[in-house]
Amino acid sequence: MTGQQETPRDGVRDRAPWPARTSSGDRTRSGDRTRSGDRAWGNERAGSGGRERPGTGRAWAGRDETPARPPREAGPQLPDSVTPEQLDPEARAQLNSLPNDLADIVARYLVAASLADDPEQGYAYAQTAKRLAARVGVVREACGIAAYQTGRWAEALSELRAARRMTGRDEYLPMMADCERALGRLDRALALVREGQHANLDRATQIELRIVESGIRRDQGLPDAAVLALQVPELTSGRLRPWSARLFYAYADALLAAGRAEEARDAFVRAAEADPGGETDAADRLDALDGIEFDDLEDDDLEDDAETDDVEEDDPGEKDPGEIDADEKDPGEEGPTASRSG
């Protein structure tokens, strides 16, 4: 499943609803949660005090002239602007279980992974962090999110399971359920949705779980159930939240699948209005419902330009060879009624 490119799910340009773990108070959406991303982080140490012989699990005997730590595999070049201090303070504190220099390096890779514009680049950063500190929960979370955003569903599911086991948190359930859905395992996806219904989740995560449930019901051929799953009070509330555009968009999709096109159009309008940043393709879907085809209009313009060019290529002064203007007659030629003098 690695490398499978199927994102974004359900027309949302950045399906994962988790913000970057940066030090700013309002977390961004570059590769992490769109809600408060506070998590419990893994506290396991990266290794024991003694060194082991590679591949044996046994400590080296006698004098060892090798470096204290094996050479690290070189990772992708980090932007100079990325610093360890940009990492969320809670995550930064948990990385204190690592040696100081290693903690700084891992922190920089985590920040770079969350802020990368290219999902594949973010995935590469996260994988490097994992090679350096695979036993830290925040690192496995970052790997799961990065794999999810690049369509590596099975890998994302495995990493998020590990993160959940290390941190004891249930906020990964929406992404885990969506991975199961993408893999075609709808029963397992619904089982994770039900787990979330009994977990102590914040409202944003509950909404994400309902969005996934609605998609599962559509995949099952139950469009009415898909609509029902999203009928929450926030649909009619006048207050916009960071996830309102996603909720309106998913509701519009469900209505459209249920054959309620007019209601779907209204929901797409609300989604577009709540989404000035273009997180979803609500505006494009709305244009499609209204029958606006920009590609066709561009083609028509090109055809009109071509016709104009053809007309301009004709010589406006050119005359038909068979037509002779009266003024162009031979001046010595006389008509039949001409008279001769003297």
Examine the pLDDT at 41 and tell me if it is beyond 50. no
Of residues 340 and 265, the one with the higher pLDDT is 265
Neighbours of 251 (CB within 10 A): 27
Structure tokens at 209: 């779980």
DSSP string, 121-181: HHHHHHHHHHHH-TT-HHHHHHHHHHHHHTT-HHHHHHHHHHHHHHH---TTHHHHHHHHH
Has residue 44 got a pLDDT over 70? no
Alpha carbons 113 and 139: distance in angstroms, whole number: 10
Least confident of 72-86, 203-217, 277-291: 72-86
Report the distance separating Cα 249 and Cα 272, nearest Å.
8
State the average pLDDT over residues 62-90: 72
> What pLDDT does 238 receive?
87
Q: For the ranges 95-104, 233-242, 328-337, which has the lowest average pLDDT?
A: 328-337
Question: What is the C-alpha separation between 301 and 35, in angstroms, rounded?
Answer: 45
The pLDDT value given to residue 74 = 65
* pLDDT score at 75: 77
Q: Does the pTM exceed 0.85?
A: no
